[in-house]
Amino acid sequence: MPIVSAWHLLRHAARILDDIEDGNAETGTMPVDLNVSTGLIFTAGYLLSQLEASGVAVESAQAIREGFHVGLLQTCAGQHEDLSLSSPSLEKSWQIAETKSGTSLGLVCWAGGYVACADHQELNLYRQFGHKLGLLDQIHDDLVDLASKEDLFAAAKHSLPVGYAVTVLPQAQKEALLALLDTAVSESEKAELAHRLIIGSGAVVYLVTQMSLIRQEAYQLVQTMQLAPDIKAQLQRILDHIAPQSVPRAG
């Protein structure tokens, strides 16, 4: 329970900080939001300090805490790249998705498994599964945002649809898209133009195909795990929940 609770608190803190960094926080709430997110982070740290009291072996608890620290630093590094890189590309978009979303879900799947499993090869399968799940979640979120024409500007310049578009579009269209992405989010006409360029690049087809491939890889990992059939079925249902057919079509 401390592991799951700590991860949820950290995930919520990250969402608050994301809104602040992307300029989506409500006017006047930034000091409060920063304080709340800081409190959530410290509370998560306190919960992880209580693993031994929850019955986790000392060595396992120490390894889990170290894993959290390393994983969170990697996630922060991905966020730093997201905020600081000026020119989007498909390669960088995938790197950021891997470092942020893949690392985060890979971490919690590994940490949860560590409580009951001492087989490091099996634990690595759990981490790989979580990593795949994180990528599926990120692609799904990016495509939902694209379909609703939200966050198409500077805050999402390194999203996967934008990364694909600027990689495959002819130079003139690429420059036009980048110029549109640097404008104010309130300009709906420019948002529509940017949306058309991204859709026209084939980004949705590409990412739905990638979702199918990643989901199949995750499904194969589940079959390899030394888990009871009902647990495997639960993991497969999670994958089915964010399957490609559940992605809203942009148009």
Q: Which of 172, 171, 148 is nearest to 161 (CA)?
A: 148
What is the average per-residue pLDDT within 34-52? 95
Identify the residue whose tokens are 């690429």. Answer: 174
- Give tens-digit pLDDT for 13-26: 988 988 887 676 66
- The C-alpha atoms of residue 111 and residue 101 are separated, in whole angstroms, by 16
Q: 154 pLDDT band (50/70/90 cuts)?
A: very low
> pLDDT: is 247 or 10 the higher one?
10
> What's residue 157's pLDDT?
67
**DSSP-derived secondary structure letter, 82:** H
Specify the pLDDT at position 242.
82
Model pLDDT for residues 58-74, shown as the tens digit of each residue:
999 999 999 999 999 99
- Alpha-carbon gap, residue 49 to 145, rounded angstroms: 37
Number of H helices, E strands in the chain: 11, 0
The domain limits of the chain are: 90-246
Query: Which pTM value belongs to this model?
Result: 0.87
The domain 90-246 is classified under which CATH number: 1.10.600.10, 2.60.120.680, 3.20.20.70, 3.40.50.720?
A: 1.10.600.10
The one-letter code for the residue type at 105 is: L
Average pLDDT of 190-196? 85
